[in-house]
Structure 1
C-alpha cells in the first residue's frame, strides 16, 4: 500500500555546513548542488539495501529483463521549515506506479477507479475480435486458395503465351509463302485465314485473362467478407484508442508555483509537436515538482541520475547525473517553473567572447583556422559570435557561404573556410567524397586494454532529447571511427587517444567513445555523454585536403592544448 506521508525524507547526515541554493536549478544544464548530491547518495544507498521490491537494473548477473532507470531528487523545505528531499523514478519501477518512499505519478492509469482500465477492456475485446477473425481457418483457407489459383492461372496464361508466340512465328512463315504465290486469289484467301487465326489467338488470351480475373474476384469477395469486418473493427479500435489517449492526456494536470494547472494537451498544443509524445509526464522531474506544489513543499534544487546498466541506444552511465530531456520535459517544465527564479541558462552564455580565433593559413581562396573550445562554428539561436561571424567581419570581400564544415561548439581544432563559391563547391565535393582526412586527439576516461581498434555504430538524432545522438541499427546512418592509444595515464585512469573519423556524423567521436558498444569510455569533460568538466578534451589536430584552385595537396597541424 502506498504511504504518501513518507515521501518527505530527512537527511541522515548533518547539512549545516552547506549553503542553501540561491536560485532553483536550471534543469537542462546543471552541476548538482552539494545538498542534491547528499540526497542522491542517500537514495542510492536505499536502492542498494532495500528489500521491499525487486527490479533488475542490470547490476547483477541476471541477464533477463534489464531496465535501468532515471531517478530524481528534489531538495525541499516543508511547512515547518525543515530541510529534506523527495524522490521519484521515471515510468514504472518493479512494474508498479506506487512505491513507498517515492512520489506518486501525476495521474495513475492503473488505479482501481481509473477510467483507463474499463476503456482498455473494450479495446482489448476489439483486439480479440480482430485476432479471431484474422486467424479463422476459413479465411486462411480462402487466402491459400486465392494464392494457388493465382499461381495456376498464371501458369496457364504463360503456357498460352508460349503457344501463341509459336503460332505467330508459323503464320509469319505462311504469309511469306503466300506473298510469293502467283495465284492472287489463293494468296488473298490464305492471308485472310491467317488474320482470323491471329484474332482468334488474341481472343483466347483475353478470354483466359478474364476467366482468371472472375475466379479470383469470386474468392476475393469471400475474403472481403472477413477483411471488411476486420477493417471496421480496426477503425473502431483506432478511434477509441485516440479518444482514450486524449482523455489520458487531459487528466495529466500539472501545477506550478502559482497553483495554476495545465494539462498535457494544453501544454503541447503550444509546441511544434502539438501532440504529447508517449511517456510525457512520467519523467522524474515533473512528478517531483507537481508533488511539491500540491503538498506545500518549497522546491530549492533538483538533480536526476541514472541507476543501472546502460541502455542499448542512449549513452547513460550508472550513478551519473543527467539533465531533463528537451523533447518530453521541456514544455512541461516551462509551465511548472513559471515565476520561479532559476540559475542562469549556461546554454545562452557566450563562452568564446574573450577567445581569439587563430588564423593558421590564408590565401585568396581559403582560410584555415584553429577554433577554440566552447566557440560556435556558425551563429546559434541566442549567440551570433562564431567562426562564421568573425571571418565575415575580418574578410568583408569574401563571398559565398564561407563555412564548408563544422566542429561542435565544445570541440577545438582545425577548420577550413572558403572565400568564394567556387572554392566552397570544390571543398564540399571533397568532403562528400571523403577525400578530406582529419585526425582528432582526445583524452578519454578509462584505459583501453587494446592499443587500437575500429568502431562501427550507426547514429541518428535523439528525437526527444536533441542535440544528443543515439545508436540505432535500424534507422541510423553508418558511422565508422578508428582509434589508437597515444599515451596511458594510470594514476588518473585516463588515456590520450588518436581518433580518425571515416564518416562525418554529428557527435560521432563523442558517442563512439562513450557508448557501451564503443570504447565505453567518455571523452573527458563531455557534458552530453560523460561528466561535465572545464572543457571537452577533443581537438581536431590534423587536416589533409587538396587546394580547391591549385589542386595541390595540403596538410595542416595544430597541437591540442591539454
Structure 2
C-alpha cells in the first residue's frame, strides 16, 4: 500500500492498493522519456517551453508524479495523473488534475504578504546582529510569516468519498504545525479531483522522475509511498468512504 492514512473519525487506517496503477505509471514514464515535456498531449509546435522536463534534471532536481485509476458512474475506467506542487512555476496543465487551491488567490495572498515581510527583512539587515531590536524584529517577522501561512492554508479545501469537505486545519490529523506545501503532492490532488467528480478510486501509485534528490533517497523511476510529513496526516480524512465504494 503506497497511499494510506489514519482517520480520526473512524479510528482506523484507510488505504488504496497500487497494483492496477503501476502499469499506467510505466506508460507515463515512457511518455516523459520520449517527449521530454509534460504537455505531450499537444503537438510539439504548440508546446509550452516552461513544461519541458529539463528543469527536473537541473539543481532543482526531480519531482513526484502519480496515477490514480478510477471508475466513473457508468463503470468506465478513468486514468488520472498528477505532478507534485508546480512544474517550473506552472500550476495548471491540460491533461493533469488541477491543484486544490485557486492559483490566482494563492499568488495574490503571497503578494500581499510580501508587502509586510520584505520591509521587515530589509530592516533586519540594517540592524546590529544579536541586538535587542534585531531579536525583536526577527520575532515580529516570524509572527507575520505565520499569519501569512495561515491565510494560505485557509485557501485549501479537502474532499473525501463520503461527500464531506474540510479545511486544511480540520483535515490535518496531527496536533502539530502543518508543513508548507501540504495538499500540493500527487495523492491529495488525485483523490480530491476524484471525490469532487464522483469517481470511484481503485488504485494509486506515485513515482519519482528526474535528477535524484540531494540525499539520494529518491531516484528516477522508483516508486514511493505518500510522504509521512505532509500527506499521511490528511489522507485518513481524504480516503474516508473509499472502502465502502470499493466493495459496492
Q: TM-score, normalised by structure 1?
A: 0.35
Contact map agreement 2:116 2:144 (CA 8 A) in 1 = no
Corresponding residue of 2:7? none
The 5 A counterparts of 1:31-50 are 32-33=18-19, 35-48=20-33, 49=35, 50=40
Corresponding residue of 2:115? 125
Contact map agreement 1:86 1:102 (CA 8 A) in 2 = yes
C-alpha distance in structure 1 between counterparts of 2:113 and 2:209, whole Å: 35
SS for the counterpart of 1:327 is: coil
Deviations 1:355-401 (A, max 9, x none): xxxxxxxxxxxxxxxxxxxxxxxxxxxxxxxxxxxxxxxxxxxxxxx
Corresponding residue of 2:67? 73
The 5 A counterparts of 1:80-229 are 80-108=74-102, 110-111=103-104, 114=105, 116-134=106-124, 227=133
Deviations 1:112-145 (A, max 9, x none): xx1x434433432334433544556xx7xxx6xx
C-alpha distance in structure 2 between counterparts of 1:331 and 1:272, whole Å: 10
Of 165, 188, 191, 1:289 maps to: 191
| CA 120–313 in structure 1, closer or farther in 2 if over 3 Å, else same | same
Contact map agreement 1:30 1:323 (CA 8 A) in 2 = no
State yes or no: 1:54 paired with 2:48: no
Deviations 1:65-109 (A, max 9, x none): 34211111000112343212000111111221111211111113x
Of 230, 248, 253, 2:152 maps to: 248
Corresponding residue of 2:229? 327
The 5 A counterparts of 1:155-554 are 227=133, 231=136, 234=138, 236-268=140-172, 270-273=173-176, 275-341=177-243
Q: TM-score, normalised by structure 2?
A: 0.75
C-alpha distance in structure 2 between counterparts of 1:70 and 1:295, whole Å: 23
| CA 129–336 in structure 1, closer or farther in 2 if over 3 Å, else same | closer
Corresponding residue of 1:355? none
C-alpha distance in structure 1 between counterparts of 2:63 and 2:175, whole Å: 28
Contact map agreement 1:123 1:237 (CA 8 A) in 2 = no
| CA 243–305 in structure 1, closer or farther in 2 if over 3 Å, else same | same
| CA 265–292 in structure 1, closer or farther in 2 if over 3 Å, else same | same
C-alpha distance in structure 1 between counterparts of 2:86 and 2:111, whole Å: 21
- Number of equivalenced pairs: 218
C-alpha distance in structure 2 between counterparts of 1:328 and 1:30, whole Å: 17
Corresponding residue of 2:3? 27
C-alpha distance in structure 1 between counterparts of 2:121 and 2:30, whole Å: 47
Contact map agreement 1:105 1:282 (CA 8 A) in 2 = yes
C-alpha distance in structure 1 between counterparts of 2:155 and 2:60, whole Å: 30
Contact map agreement 1:39 1:73 (CA 8 A) in 2 = yes
| CA 291–124 in structure 1, closer or farther in 2 if over 3 Å, else same | same
Q: Which has the larger radius of gyration?
A: 1
Q: Output the aligned Cα RMSD.
A: 2.8
User: Residue 282 of structure 1: CA displacement?
Assistant: 1.1
SS for the counterpart of 2:189 is: helix
Contact map agreement 1:246 1:265 (CA 8 A) in 2 = no
Unaligned runs of 5+ in 2: 5-14
C-alpha distance in structure 2 between counterparts of 1:76 and 1:31, whole Å: 12
SS for the counterpart of 2:116 is: helix
| CA 82–310 in structure 1, closer or farther in 2 if over 3 Å, else same | same
User: Residue 301 of structure 1: CA displacement?
Assistant: 0.8
| CA 341–132 in structure 1, closer or farther in 2 if over 3 Å, else same | closer
